[in-house]
RNA sequence: GUCUUGUUAGCUCAGCUGGUAGAGCACGUCACUUUUAAUGAUGUGGCCGAUGGUUCGAAUCCAUCACAGGACACCA
C-alpha cells in the first residue's frame, strides 16, 4: 500500500501539523528571483567587504534541502537547485517569532523544497552563504531521501527510479546535460550545412532499412499489424527521390532483440542523406562533425574511455579485406577463399551458421578478429555486397560496396554508404534477402515494392549515414553501459506478490 | 536465450561451519548561534526478494521462481 512506511507516515503528520499552523505544505507562489549559480557569481566579492557581508543586498533562492545541520538556535542547510549548491544560514532571531523553534526545527527536513530570502555573507570557514530572513516551505517531501553520504548506488534502483538518481547524483545530471547538448549540436551542425530536418513514420507496414527483428503492434481502425520502425532509411530515400537534396532525422529506432551494455530495445540515431555526394564525402563530413562536437562541448580531442585512450585527431581508413590481415592478423591468403576461411574459423573453435557466402564469412572474420581492436576512430571501407543490401556497388569491383562503418573503442558508431539507386539491382538484392529470410534468417530484409517503385522514378546519386547517438554519448561521457546514457532504460516490470495471490 | 554473482531497516553495508537480527546514516527525544558527512546523549525501526524442502531449529543448507549486475550468444 502507498504511504504505509513509518517514515512516510511521520512526514505526512508533519505536513498536517504545518497545515494546522496555516502553512501550505504544497504552496506554489514562489518568489524566487535568482538561481544559486547566479547568486554565487554575483556575490563573489563579498569576502572582500567589511564583516564579509552586505546586508543591503537581498536575494530569494529556492531548491531542495540536501543537508541539514541544526545547532540549537541556528542551523546550516545545503540548498540545491539545478544550477548548484548554496549554504543557507538560518538563525532563530532573524526569523519571525517562534518560527524557528515551532515550525523550522520540528517540521522541516532533508528533501523538502523551500524558498529562502536573505543577504550574502561569508562564514568563518570561508564559504559564501545566504543569511536567511525569510523562509518558506514550497513542497513537503514525505519520502525520505537515500543516505546523504553514499547516496544511491544500487543500479536497479537508479534505473527504475531515475528521479532519485538525479536528486542524489550530480554527475548523472551532467551526463544527461551532455546528451542533450550532443543532440542539439548535431541538429545545428546539419542545419548549418543546409540539411532539412524531417519526420518519417515510426510505424511501418514493412520493417526495412536494417537487418533486425521488429516489434509488432496493431492498428485497430485498419485491422492491420504495423511494425515499429527498425530504421528510417527507406523513407528518407523516398524524400531524396522527391527532390529534397539533404535531409536528416534524429529519432528513435526499435529492435526486438537482446539487451546488454550496448543495446536497448529503443535507441536514438541520426540518419542523414545527401544527394550528389558519395561515401567519400561522408568520411570528410564525419570528421568535421566530430571536431565540431569536441569544439562546442569543450572537450579535448584526446579522451579517456575506461582503460583506453582515444585520439580523435587520428582518424584512419582501412578497407575491410585489408583490415582482416593488417589488424586482425588473419592470413591474407585465406580471406578470399570460402573453404579456407571455414577451415580457419574451425581451427580457432569459432562456429558459424551453415551456408554463409564469402562476403558473410569475411564479415564474421571482421567481427571476430578486427572489430574489438579498433580503438582510435577507424573507417572500415569497401564492405562485401552480400552484407550491404542497400549500398551501391563499387564501379571497379562489383563484389564490394561503396560503404564504411566507423569504429571507435571497439564499437560501431556509424554506418554509411553511397546509396544503391539502381532499382533493378535493388530489386534483386531484396529478392536475395527474401531467400535468406525463407532459409531462416529472420533478420533479413523483406521485399519493399513501394520503395522499388520510388527508386524507379530516379533517385539522384546520394550518400547516406546513420550514427548511433547513445553510443556516441557513451564515448563522450566515459560511460560503459547504454543504460547510463538513457534516462529511462528498458527494465523488466516487477511482479507484485499481492497481484499473484489475487490471481491464485 | 545460456552461464555466473547478488537480493538483509528508508539508504549504505555486516551477519563465519544452521541456534529467534547488527552497525553507520536517516528518523524521534534532549543539549548546542559559524557548521561542512556538524557534534554529544538516548530511543524507535526488519515477513532477511518469493514459494517449497531438509532439520528439533533456516537470513544461513537444497530446489524452483522473480528481479538485477556481469560475461557469452544475436544485434547497432
- Indicate if CB(A87) is under 7 A from strand B: yes
Which of these, A44, A52, A41, lies nearest to A125 by C-alpha position?
A52
Which of these, A190, A268, A282, A202, lies nearest to A235 by C-alpha position?
A202
- Indicate if CB(A152) is under 7 A from strand B: yes
**What distance separates the 2 farthest-apart alpha carbons in chain A?**
91
ipTM computed for the complex = 0.91
Residue nearest to nucleotide B50 (CA to C1'): A497
Distance (Å, whole) CA A411 – CA A475: 10
Residue nearest to nucleotide B40 (CA to C1'): A71
Which of these, A144, A114, A141, A118, lies nearest to A129 by C-alpha position?
A118
What are φ and ψ of residue A189, in 5° steps?
Answer: -55, -45
Distance (Å, whole) CA A7 – CA A346: 62
Closest-approach nucleotide to residue A11, Cα vs C1': B27
Hey, is A139 helix, strand or coil?
A: strand
Q: CA at A148, C1' at B57: how many angstroms apart?
A: 40
What are φ and ψ of residue A254, in 5° steps?
Answer: -130, 125
Q: What is the pLDDT of residue A4?
A: 78
**DSSP at A115:** E
- For the stretch A150-194, pLDDT in tens is 899 999 999 999 999 999 999 999 999 999 999 999 999 999 999
Which stretches of chain A score pLDDT less than 70?
1, 495-504
Which of these, A236, A203, A238, A288, lies nearest to A466 by C-alpha position?
A236
Distance (Å, whole) CA A286 – CA A289: 5
- Indicate if CB(A360) is under 7 A from strand B: no
Which of these, A256, A287, A292, A247, lies nearest to A419 by C-alpha position?
A247
**How far does CA A396 lie from the centroid of its chain?**
39
Which of these, A367, A374, A387, A391, lies nearest to A279 by C-alpha position?
A391
Q: Which residues of A81-105 are buried (b: 16+ CB within 10 A; e: fewer)?
A: bebbebbbbbebebbeeebbeebbb
- Indicate if CB(A211) is under 7 A from strand B: yes
Q: CA at A49, C1' at B45: how many angstroms apart?
A: 49
- Indicate if CB(A156) is under 7 A from strand B: yes
Q: What is the pLDDT of residue A3?
A: 82
Q: What is the pLDDT of residue A257?
A: 87
Distance (Å, whole) CA A179 – CA A166: 14
Closest-approach nucleotide to residue A125, Cα vs C1': B34
| CA dihedral of residues A389, A391, A392, A394 (deg, nearest 10) | -90
CA distances (Å), A427 to each of A55, A161, A279, A325, A422, in order? 79, 48, 22, 34, 9
The H or E element that residue A60 is part of is strand A59-71
- Indicate if CB(A468) is under 7 A from strand B: yes
Within 10 angstroms of residue A436's Cβ, the number of other Cβ atoms is 19
Region of residue A355 (phi > 0: left; psi between -120 and 50: alpha; otherwise: beta): left
Q: CA at A345, C1' at B74: how many angstroms apart?
A: 18
Closest-approach nucleotide to residue A441, Cα vs C1': B74
Distance (Å, whole) CA A298 – CA A214: 38
**What are the residues whose beta carbons fall under 8 Å from the beta carbon of A208, sequence distance 6 or more?**
A230, A231, A233, A234, A445, A446, A448, A451
Subset of residues 101-120 in chain A with CB less than 7 angstroms from any atom in strand B: 106, 109-110
Q: What is the pLDDT of residue A440?
A: 72
Distance (Å, whole) CA A256 – CA A278: 31
Distance (Å, whole) CA A485 – CA A474: 6
Hey, is A64 helix, strand or coil?
A: strand
Distance (Å, whole) CA A317 – CA A310: 16
Nucleotides of B under 7 A from a protein CB: 1, 10-13, 24-29, 31-39, 45, 50, 66-76
* Helix pair A338-347, A358-365: axis angle to 10 deg: 30
- Indicate if CB(A497) is under 7 A from strand B: yes
Which of these, A317, A410, A318, A324, lies nearest to A366 by C-alpha position?
A324
Distance (Å, whole) CA A142 – CA A120: 30
Which of these, A345, A402, A407, lies nearest to A371 by C-alpha position?
A407
Written in H, E and C, the secondary structure of A227-276 is EECCCCHHHHHHHHHCCCCEEEEEEEEECCCCCECCECCEEEEEEEEEEC
Residue nearest to nucleotide B51 (CA to C1'): A497
Q: CA at A150, C1' at B24: how many angstroms apart?
A: 11
Written in H, E and C, the secondary structure of A400-436 is EECEEEEEECCEEEEEEEEECCCHHHHHHHHHHHHHH
Closest-approach nucleotide to residue A123, Cα vs C1': B34
Distance (Å, whole) CA A355 – CA A480: 35
Q: What is the pLDDT of residue A476?
A: 94
Distance (Å, whole) CA A429 – CA A389: 6
Amino acid at each position: 500500500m502507498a504511504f504505509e512506511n513509518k517514515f512516510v507516515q511521520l512526514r505526512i503528520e508533519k505536513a498536517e501539523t504545518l497545515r494546522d499552523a496555516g502553512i501550505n505544505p504544497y504552496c506554489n507562489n514562489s518568489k524566487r528571483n535568482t538561481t544559486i549559480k547566479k547568486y554565487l557569481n554575483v556575490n563573489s566579492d563579498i569576502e572582500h567587504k567589511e564583516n564579509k557581508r552586505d546586508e543591503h543586498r537581498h536575494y530569494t533562492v529556492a531548491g531542495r534541502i540536501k543537508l541539514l545541520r541544526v545547532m540549537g538556535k541556528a542551523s546550516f542547510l545545503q540548498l540545491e537547485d539545478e544550477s548548484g549548491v548554496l549554504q543557507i544560514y538560518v538563525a532563530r532571531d532573524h526569523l519571525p517569532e517562534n518560527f524557528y523553534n515551532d515550525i523550522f526545527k520540528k517540521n522541516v527536513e532533508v528533501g523538502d523544497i523551500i524558498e529562502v530570502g536573505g543577504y550574502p555573507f561569508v562564514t568563518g570557514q570561508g564559504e559564501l552563504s545566504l543569511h536567511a530572513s525569510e523562509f518558506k516551505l514550497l513542497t513537503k517531501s514525505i519520502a525520505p531521501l537515500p543516505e546523504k553520504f553514499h547516496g544511491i548506488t544500487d543500479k536497479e534502483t537508479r534505473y527504475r527510479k531515475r528521479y532519485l538518481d538525479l536528486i542524489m547524483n550530480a554527475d548523472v545530471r551532467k551526463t544527461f546535460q551532455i546528451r542533450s547538448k550532443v543532440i542539439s549540436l548535431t541538429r545545428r551542425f546539419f542545419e548549418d550545412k543546409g540539411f532539412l530536418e524531417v519526420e518519417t513514420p515510426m510505424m511501418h507496414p514493412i520493417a526495412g532499412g536494417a537487418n533486425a527483428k521488429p516489434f509488432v503492434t496493431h492498428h485497430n481502425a485498419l485491422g492491420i499489424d504495423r511494425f515499429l520502425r527498425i530504421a528510417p532509411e527507406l523513407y528518407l530515400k523516398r524524400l531524396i527521390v522527391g527532390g529534397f537534396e539533404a535531409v536528416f532525422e534524429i529519432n528513435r529506432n526499435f529492435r526486438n532483440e537482446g539487451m546488454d551494455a550496448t543495446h536497448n530495445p529503443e535507441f536514438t540515431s541520426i540518419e542523414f542523406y545527401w544527394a550528389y555526394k558519395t561515401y567519400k564525402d561522408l568520411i570528410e563530413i564525419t570528421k568535421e562533425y566530430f571536431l565540431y562536437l569536441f569544439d562546442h562541448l569543450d572537450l579535448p580531442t584526446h579522451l579517456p574511455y575506461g582503460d583506453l585512450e582515444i585520439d580523435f585527431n587520428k582518424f584512419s581508413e582501412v578497407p575491410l579485406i585489408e583490415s582482416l590481415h593488417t589488424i586482425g592478423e588473419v592470413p591474407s591468403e585465406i580471406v578470399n577463399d570460402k573453404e579456407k576461411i571455414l577451415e580457419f574459423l574451425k581451427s580457432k573453435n569459432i562456429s558459424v551458421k551453415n551456408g554463409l557466402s564469402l562476403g558473410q564469412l569475411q564479415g564474421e572474420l571482421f567481427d571476430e578478429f578486427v572489430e574489438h581492436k579498433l580503438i582510435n576512430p577507424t573507417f572500415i571501407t569497401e564492405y562485401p555486397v552480400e552484407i550491404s543490401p542497400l549500398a551501391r556497388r563499387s564501379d571497379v569491383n562489383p563484389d564490394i560496396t561503396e560503404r564504411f562503418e566507423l569504429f571507435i573503442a571497439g564499437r560501431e558508431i556509424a554506418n554509411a554508404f553511397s546509396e544503391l539507386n539502381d532499382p533493378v539491382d535493388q530489386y534483386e538484392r531484396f529478392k536475395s534477402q527474401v531467400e535468406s529470410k525463407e532459409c531462416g534468417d529472420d533478420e533479413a530484409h523483406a521485399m519493399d515494392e513501394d520503395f522499388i517503385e520510388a527508386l524507379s522514378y530516379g533517385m539522384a546519386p546520394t550518400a547516406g549515414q546513420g550514427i548511433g547517438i547513445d553510443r556516441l554519448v557513451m564515448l563522450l561521457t566515459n560511460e560503459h553501459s547504454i543504460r547510463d546514457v538513457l534516462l529511462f532504460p528498458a527494465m523488466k516490470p516487477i511482479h507484485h506478490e499481492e497481484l499473484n495471490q489475487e490471481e491464485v
